[in-house]
Amino acid sequence: MIGCSPKAGIDPHLSVEEKIEIKEEFNSLFVGKWNIENNSDNSSKGIAQCYINSLEFTNEGKYILKVSDLNDPSKRPRFFNGVYLIIFDESDPTKIEVDKVFLMQENYNEEASLPEIGSVATFDSINISDQGDLSFNVSFGQQTSEFCNVGQKLSIDARKEEPIISDAPEDSNHFKIQKQWRLIRIDAQSSGNGDTSVISDPLCKLFEEEWESRCVETPENPTSEGCYPSNTVVITFTGYGTYLWTFYDVQGKPVHYEDGRWRWVEKSPQDYSQFEVDFDQSQEYNQTISIVELSDDNFVVEERQQETVNGVVFELIFKYGFQPASFNFTPSDCSI
């Protein structure tokens, strides 16, 4: 456990204001990307299967957990994201301690009664060193049962990364971009050899390509029953230079994830108006994205690419329109 108590005084009991302040400090302390430096198996029967690659908590009360299969390195890592809850121990009126952290699924109702365990994972035996390093035990919940052994327990050591920018103004694009955005529109055109043509249904083509990569039968990827196409996708940007695409099928279930890194272009025309991404795990930032519009409820970016066909150079221009993932939306109606 980690705890905090007031300075010595006449009355050692915490006031309501002091309790709120201490809890806010703990919430701020957890926010960030944690590099996992140790995954030790605490399972009594040697049943360890998953290990944690990375863990990130956001200011919005969300988390991104990336896990891999210890027994099968060739298997793609699995992502879990949703709501996290910090459970405090207030049994001692003179201090507050962090007892547990629950990782809940995306559709968790925060107005529901407090759960006893995390549906995705439960952290306990939590300690934070004087240097700010984190250690805890983790047990995986029922929501991970298709990938992890629910009876598995790990002992984790983690160290927080530095944010990619530390001095950005609070009203800048650097902070506006840090949320979950739903892709609702793609406009695309191709120009070359003196002609310009509109590319039809690029959003549906994105969902079709995702479905084919996941569901169409190949020797390495046999088709399983109930492999539904995706019809909406959400991207999460964090202040620690990571992003995560999450595709959802027609039943609202997350079915595919793609993660990568992003950073601001240092010499963009305006501060925080262009950013670079890596999207193929090449460890190189290989695509520049320009922000067309960014507000609390609207996000539009432009991407330019070139391709050569029969010696003719074509320029492809894509504009992607997003809205906050929390907004109501109509799923794409694509015939896949």
**Within its chain, how far is the Cα of 300 from the centroid?**
20
CA distance linking residue 167 with residue 292, whole number of Å: 23
CA distance linking residue 193 with residue 256, whole number of Å: 37
pLDDT tens per residue, range 2-52: 445 444 444 567 787 888 888 888 888 899 999 998 777 766 555 557 889
CA distance linking residue 309 with residue 98, whole number of Å: 60
CB atoms within 10 A of CB 233: 23
Locus of tokens 């506006």: 176
**Within its chain, how far is the Cα of 320 from the centroid?**
19
CB atoms within 10 A of CB 119: 19
HSE of 195 in the Cβ direction (CA atoms, 13 Å)?
A: 5
Taking only Cα atoms into account, the Rg of the chain, rounded to an integer number of angstroms, comes to 23
pLDDT tens per residue, range 234-292: 999 999 999 999 999 988 889 999 999 999 998 766 789 999 998 655 556 678 999 99
Would you kindly state where each structural domain of the chain is located, as residue ranges? 2-160, 173-324
Model confidence at 107: pLDDT above 90? no
2-160 has CATH 3.40.1350 classification: no
Whether the domain at 2-160 and the domain at 173-324 fall into the same CATH topology: yes
CA distance linking residue 74 with residue 7, whole number of Å: 53
Query: In terms of Cα–Cα distance, which of 154, 147, 157, 180 is closest to 81?
Result: 180
Write out the E strands in 90-227.
96-103, 121-128, 134-140, 153-160, 180-192, 195-198
Cβ atoms of 229 and 249 closer than 8 Å:
yes
| CATH code for residues 173-324 | 2.40.128
pTM for the structure as a whole: 0.85
